[in-house]
Every structure is written in C-alpha cells, then in structure tokens.
Amino acid sequence: MAAQSSCVASLYTVGVLEAVILRSFGPEGGQVLFTRDTGQAMLSRSGTRILTALQLEHPLARMVVECVWKHSTATGDGSKTFILLLASLLRLIHAAASKEPNVSHSYNSTKAAEAATARHLADKLLAFALKELDELIATGVVPYGGRISWEDFTATAQSPSLANNLCVQKLLRSFFHTRFGYTHCDFISHLACELLSYWKFKNELPSFSLQFVSDNFPALHTPVSGFPVCASRLIDGQVIHRDFATPPLKTDHQPVKAVVLTRSLQPTLLNTGDVLEVGCGGRMMEERSIVHFSAWMERSLQGIIANLQTLGVCVLLSAVKQSAAVLALATQAEMCVVECVSEDELSLFVRLSGTIPIWDCSMIEPEHVVTLTFCRPIQLGGHRYKNTPQRITVKPCSLVICAPGEGQTEQYACALQDAVRMLLRTWEPMHAAVTTTSKRTLQSHKSSSLHTDNLTDRTTYRSSAIQPIHKCVLEPGCVISAGGSFELLLHYALLQHGHSCSVSHDLNIDTSVSQLLANALLSVPQKIYAHSPKGDKSSKDSELDLGLESVSCKYQLLLAVLQCVRSLLKVDTVLPTHIALHTQSSRPASTSWEDTEDEAED
C-alpha cells in the first residue's frame, strides 16, 4: 500500500467490517451465525465476539479489530459503535482532504498531499478531543442525564418489584439487550445486581468492589451447560472447581480448618540437608540407601500429618498433585485433599481468608491455618465441586451460569463480565483538576449545575482506562438515555462550540475540526433509527427508548476511535510476510475460534 492511498485503504477495510457489524447493530439488530468446518456453530450479537471470530487476512483489518478488542476489554462495551464512528470519521476526513486545493497537478503529488492533509486532520481531532471534549460533555450532555447510585444494587437485589424504577437496572437492561435481546434481559440484570450487592465491601468506594469482581470473575462463576438460563443462581461460599481426591468430610455443615499448599507434602532431601549416596558401593549399597531413604521419607511425612492433626487441620487445598503416600496418610487421618486447584481460585481463597500459603511443609504454623464455616461437595450439572465459604467482612458467593449449550454459557459469562467492566468505568474516579481553559469555559456557564469552585476543590484521581493521561472534569456515575441521545447532544454542543469560537476569533481552535466530529457523531443515531418501524409503534417498540448508557464509557469510546484513526492514517506501507507473528498477550480472547493447526502451519 502506497503512502498516498492510506486513507482510501483504511476506509475500504473499515467499510467491510462496518457491513458485518450493521447486521446486528441497533435495537432491531439480529444475531450473526458463524460455522466452522467441524460443524460447530456460534450465534452472537456481541460486536467484539463477531469481529474477533472473523478470519481476517488484511493487516489493517487486524489492526482495527485489535483496537476494538482492547477498548472492549477496558470498558466492556461499544465495539459496534466503535466501527460505525471509525468508518464515519474516515469518510469525512477523506472528503475534507480531497477538497483541499493542491498546487501540483501530478497524480502522485495530489494523493500525497491528500494523505498529508488527512493525517493532519486526524492529529488535530485527537488533540481537540483531549483538550476540549470532556468539558463539552460535562456542560452539554451531563445536565440532560442523571447519576446512578451504588445503593441501587442493594435495593434491586432485595426488591425486584422496584427494579423498573432504578437507574442501574435500566443501565444493565440496555446493556444486556444489545447482547441477548429481550428474552432474558431483566433476569440477567437482576442477577448481576444481586451478585454485586453480595460483594459490597464496607467503607470502600464502589470502584473497589467492581474492580474486585472484575479481577476475580473467572474464579467467581461456574458455567453449567444443559439447563435453561433461568436456572442461573447465586450460591453461598466459593466454589473450587475440583473434586475431593480423598473421601469428603462427614460433618460437612460444621466449621473446619484448612491450609493452602503450593507444593507437595512429600518431603525432599533439599528440606533436611541430608545427602543420599547411590551407586558408590555396588548394588547392595544402592538398594540399602534407597530403603533407608524410603523409611526416612515415610517417617517425615507421618510427622507432617501429625503436626497438621495437632493444629486441627481437616482440609488441604493443593496447587499441585499429591503423591499416593500423601493421599493414603491423609485418608487415614480423615483429612480431605483437593488437588490441582487453579491459580485464580487459590488466589481468591487466600485473599478472602487471609491465610498464608505453605511453601515449606516442614514448618507449618498456626498462621497457615484458616477456619471455614463448612466444606462440602456440590453437584453442578455433570460435575461435582467443592464449596467452601470464608469468614470475611463481605458475604462471599459464587455465580452459577446456566445455558442450553456450552457456547451460550460462555457468551452469558462474557456478557456478565463485560457488564461489570462497564459499571467499573462508569464509577471509576477520573481526573478532576481543571485547566485554565476549563475555568474560563465553566465561568461562562454559571447557569449550569456544575460550578468552578466545587470542581477545583475535588480530590484528584488517576484513571488507568484512558490513555494518554489527561485532565477530565467528568463525575463518576453519569448516565444518559440510550438510543443516540449522547451523540445528538454532543453534536449540538460541538456546533455551538464551533460557532462561539468563530465569533470570538479564537485562533487556538479550528472550527472545522469540531464541525467534522459533530457530523461524524450523527452516524450513530442515523443507524439506530434507520430500521425502526414507521407509523404507530407498539408498546414493545416504545420501550426501546427507556434504556440508559454510561457517559464515561461513551467518552472513552470517542478517544479510542480517534486514536485508532490517527494510527491508521500514520501507516505508510504494508509489507507482506510469509510468517504470521503472534504474541500471546495481544491476541483477542475469542481467537479460540481460529484454527490452531493452521496457525502452527503458518
């Protein structure tokens, strides 16, 4: 690809992705069906899942999908709107660059000039957004929305009849509708609220609880296939997704003591400093040494088990597989052993219980022992697991996600995790320091509900979700009506901003940039209402306007799209290679749908 055609190539590539996304965009969007050569099928409305399931050849398309995946991983939402805004911006930038007068009449020179103009516009758009966009949203969008309260989760979980009156329920319902349709929106929304109300830490910010659930979600949920979605539920305690290696406790409803093992209980010579000499004195000496070592090892293991009995330990959670001798002695001592527990589950167990994992099995102390309310096996679907609650400041629980098939179960789990990420970005504290330009703008809007004194006195927080780091005056928890309201309000605010700058002759602001961004935003409501039914609407169709969406997530979406536009237009040349380079850290989570055998051949 030549440098002068970078904008055209990017526009063509994004246009193809846009055609795929449009099939499932909007309230009336449908689901996309993917099939593999093996006959396995996937039906989804998730934009990230659809894009990452595509087998893309063009490097620019892969670059766009990676940008979408990174944004969706951070905010949990906005993948389809990302593609629509990206395509709209590229079209407007290309049109604006083509209208610029060029001195040279050479075709190559003209195209090079257009490419330079397009890059210049992309740079100005990103710079304008980083400097002015947060203020425009705070003054032109936020006053027309509302704020969700963390107490809504408790109210929703305790009183499902009041769910329709709560903003958080509307926010979650609107989010899940874009993934599943109307069928299970209310049920999944209430289940998510109930989960978060359980994991509500006292004297902590909402962002702390949400970050905890987001980080530990793989260990907090259990997928169960072959059951209806309405069978999903919460159960008390933490579910360890491994069965007992020894017979379970007979008193499974009484408090028990447990320890966490990071290595085998089997004693080794490295722990004692002894030296085993083999092969130095002939076959008889070698056999005698092995017998002596076996006897020493058995005595040491019996001493470790006796020490555990003295401490009252009944349950052993092991990150590794234990030897047959350990299991035999543990069975004789009536101890339960759970082997090969995943790192995520052990990490969550340690964090909740406050126990210290055992590294040296010969030095087990009381601080390694934790008391559990109970420890019992639990049957979920066709698998039996171990259920262990801990005594902490919150009431721990695990989420059981049911669906008819494995693919559907995975999609519901991903949607719930993305919803938690979306709520986290909605409540995450952001930069509240105000620049000189911010103060000037806010002072000119004294009638607004936002005041300069209140903003300047706020505590300054650091947000890791927006890069590069910049100053922001948006408050956490802000929401706006779904269905294109954010884009329409920001479109009007951008037009007013451009008009005020042209009247005041502010040379630091280019009005064409704000006009270009304002026109690009209109593509979202246009696509939303392009397929809406005409004439009289039924009551079901009227409910489409009752949803909410996060202002913070929308703001971060705009920044991510503008950064992607700038990156695309910075590409000069695409060099074809014969070897596909893959990095484990940057690959999307849905690449399991790609053929691993084909990757190995590449």
pLDDT digits (tens, 9 = 90+) for 324-336: 888 988 899 888 8
Write out pLDDT tens, residues 68-89.
999 999 999 899 999 999 999 9
pLDDT number for residue 182:
79
Cα atoms found within 13 Å of the Cα of residue 567, Cβ hemisphere only:
17
Separation of alpha carbons 581 and 595, rounded Å: 15
Q: Report how far residue 89's alpha carbon sits from residue 517's, in angstroms, rounded to the nearest whole number.
A: 7
Q: Choose from 254-263, 444-453, 585-594 the range with maximum mean pLDDT.
A: 254-263
pLDDT at 127: 93
Going by pLDDT thresholds of 50, 70 and 90, the confidence category of residue 440 is very low
End-to-end CA distance of the chain: 23
Mean pLDDT of 191-212: 85
**Percent of the chain surpassing pLDDT 70:** 71
Q: Tokens for 310?
A: 């003295």
pLDDT of residue 29: 78
How far is the C-alpha of 228 from the C-alpha of 223, rounded, in Å?
12
d(CA 162, CA 157): 9
Contact 401, 416 (CB under 8 A): yes
DSSP string, 362-420: T---GGG-EEES--EEEEETTEEEEEE-B-SSS--EEEEEEESSHHHHHHHHHHHHHHH
What pLDDT shows up at residue 256? 85
Nearest to 329 by CA among 350, 289, 299: 299
Find the range with the poorest average confidence among 194-198, 275-279, 344-348, 575-579. 275-279
Residue in this structure with the two tokens 């408090």, named with its chain if needed: 255
Alpha-carbon distance of 427 to 282, in angstroms, equals: 73
61-70, 300-309, 585-594 — most confident range: 61-70
Quote the tokens at residue 224.
Answer: 């169960």
The pLDDT, as a whole number, for residue 202 is 78
Residue 43: strand, helix, or coil: strand
Decide if pLDDT at 455 tops 80. no
Mutual angle of helices 511-521 and 79-99, in 10-degree steps:
140
One-letter amino acid of 31: Q
Question: Looking at per-residue confidence, does 492 or 154 come out higher?
Answer: 492
**How far is the C-alpha of 222 from the C-alpha of 237, rounded, in Å?**
12
pLDDT of residue 393: 56
> Taking phi first (over 0 means left), then psi (-120 to 50 degrees means alpha), and beta for anything else, what does residue 596 get?
alpha
pLDDT of 115 reads 83
| Confidence check: pLDDT of 412 > 60 | yes
Residues 6+ apart with CB under 8 A from 51: 17, 20, 21, 65, 68, 69, 79, 83
User: How many helices and strands, by DSSP H and E, does the chain display?
Assistant: 24, 15
Q: Could you give the percent of the chain with pLDDT greater than 90?
A: 29
Residue 44: pLDDT above 80? yes
The total of other beta-carbon atoms located within 10 Å of residue 284's CB is 8
Nearest partner of 250 among 377, 390, 383, 373, judged by Cα: 377
Report helix, strand and coil shares of the chain as percent, to nearest 5. Answer: 55, 10, 35
If DSSP codes are grouped into helix, strand and coil, which group holds residue 41? strand
Choose from 70-84, 253-267, 432-446 the range with maximum mean pLDDT. Answer: 70-84
Amino acid at the residue 481: S
Return the minimum-mean-pLDDT range out of 8-12, 98-102, 315-319.
98-102
| Position 335, amino acid | M
Sketch out the chain's domains with CATH numbers.
3-147+428-601 (1.10.560.10), 238-395 (3.50.7.10)
Distance in angstroms (rounded) separating the CA atoms of residues 349 and 448:
48
| CA–CA gap between residue 176 and residue 381 (Å, rounded) | 25
- pLDDT higher than 70, residue 499: yes
3-state secondary structure of 199: coil
Q: What is the pLDDT of residue 253?
A: 65
pLDDT the model gives residue 207: 82
Res 154: pLDDT: 57
**221: three-class secondary structure by DSSP:** strand
pLDDT of residue 443: 39
* Three-state DSSP string of 321-373: CCCHHHHHHHHHCCCEEECCCCHHHHHHHHHHHCCCCECCCCCCCHHHCEEEC
Asked which of 12-26, 99-113, 163-177, 573-587 is least confident by mean pLDDT, the reply is 573-587
